[in-house]
Amino acid sequence: MSASFSIHASTGSYEVRVAAGSLTETLAQQAHAYLLVDAFFRDTLGKALQQTFFLAAEEREKSLDRMPLLIEQMRAAGVHRRTVLTAIGGGVIQDIAAFASSVYMRGLRWAYVPTTVLAMVDSCIGGKSSINVGPYKNLVGTFHPPEQIWIDPAVAETLPRDQFASGLIEAAKICFCRGEEAFSTHMAAGPSTTMSTAALEAVIINSLQAKKYFIEIDEFDQKERLLLNFGHTFGHAIEGASHYAIPHGIAVGVGILCSLAFQRERGLSFTNMERIAIFEKHLREMVMSLPGIREHLAALSIDDVMERFASDKKHTGHQFTLILVNQAGEVVLEQIDKNKQTSQAVRHAIETTRESYTR
């Protein structure tokens, strides 16, 4: 079950191809390209590639102060305005490649081979680059989509389980936000860290098709695309308070459970309960199946989570900006007054969600 489709963006359309086992063929076509590759692949791909620059997929590499060195290396290697840069790696390598190619000589074309589940199901499309500045994560960035994306789901087979699960949770979130059909297709593929490559391929195609809807209707994050931040205000707070011991997608999964608990704290009862129950059960099973997460959740300081929750950059002076599920089971953006009652409901939602894991 391979697939090809295009994404329409203001800068032009770009192509996505998903095909298990396609990496060798993709690399053969890149023999003369300038490549930015995750150092994880040095031993397996190094010999097959020329003009390759290996980078460690670490947050500190993805920072503004590392850019001059990379740009100098590109210049010294003879990268010119018509060079097409090819990036091979997860979200870190993607962000570095997208950013560098958006500014180098005012913009290079680039192509991308995502290698993590998160990058395959989510970040590879949408065109964003995000770069860290000092202690601030993803503070600066650009919109600069690659012109080709080649996905080989078999490449994800070597990923650690928590990284694999992290990507699957983001895919479940995208599909849930898109609606009934996308979500039931996702669940029917049997998402789990032991799923087959063929099933992962189906998950990737469905998730990218669902995300395509949001990024084409709202390329620059003004309205509909914001809904994909579902679970992220709670999630980022949990991820940060765990000092990044809890991987991003897992923290988002817990964040989604917190946001549902928060709505119940506010007295909401969901009318479309079956879909929500399936989603909650799935997230719980995914999170519970991973070693160490229970302990990291138990070790969280709730005050720290609360502080991080309150400092989310989407909030305004008097209101929290949250993506929540409304009574009808739809994902919506809500502005909620900051007051004692709301803060208590937030705290309670985090505490009860955590208790349900550590009991």
Ligand X SMILES: NC(=O)c1ccc[n+]([C@@H]2O[C@H](COP(=O)([O-])OP(=O)(O)OC[C@H]3O[C@@H](n4cnc5c(N)ncnc54)[C@H](O)[C@@H]3O)[C@@H](O)[C@H]2O)c1
Residues near ligand X (CB under 6 A) are: 38, 40, 57, 59, 62, 89-95, 115-116, 118-119, 123, 126, 128-130, 138, 155-156, 158-159, 163
- The CB-of-247 to ligand X minimum distance in angstroms stands at 7
Backbone angles phi, psi at 285, to 5 degrees: -65, -40
Angle at 96 between CA 94 and CA 102, to 5 degrees: 95
- The CB-of-90 to ligand X minimum distance in angstroms stands at 3
Nearer to ligand X, 55 or 346 (CB): 55
Residue entry with tokens 């004692």: 340
- The CB-of-163 to ligand X minimum distance in angstroms stands at 5
Nearest by Cα to 248 from 287, 294, 298, 191? 287
Please state, in angstroms and as integers, the Cα–Cα distance from residue 333 to each residue in 100, 209, 233, 354, following that order.
33, 22, 12, 24
Nearer to ligand X, 79 or 93 (CB): 93
- The CB-of-208 to ligand X minimum distance in angstroms stands at 13
Nearer to ligand X, 247 or 325 (CB): 247
Residue 300 burial by CB count (10 A; 0-12/13-18/19+): exposed, middle or buried?
buried
Nearer to ligand X, 159 or 260 (CB): 159
Amino acid, single-letter form, for residue 335? Q
Nearer to ligand X, 204 or 261 (CB): 204
Nearer to ligand X, 102 or 353 (CB): 102
CA dist 174 and 117 (Å) reads: 13
**Whose CB is nearest to ligand X?**
91
- The CB-of-326 to ligand X minimum distance in angstroms stands at 25
- The CB-of-214 to ligand X minimum distance in angstroms stands at 12
Backbone angles phi, psi at 314, to 5 degrees: -80, -20
Nearer to ligand X, 94 or 102 (CB): 94
Backbone angles phi, psi at 331, to 5 degrees: -85, 125
Q: Indicate the Cα dihedral angle 289, 206, 146, 43, nearest 10°.
A: 40
- The CB-of-307 to ligand X minimum distance in angstroms stands at 21
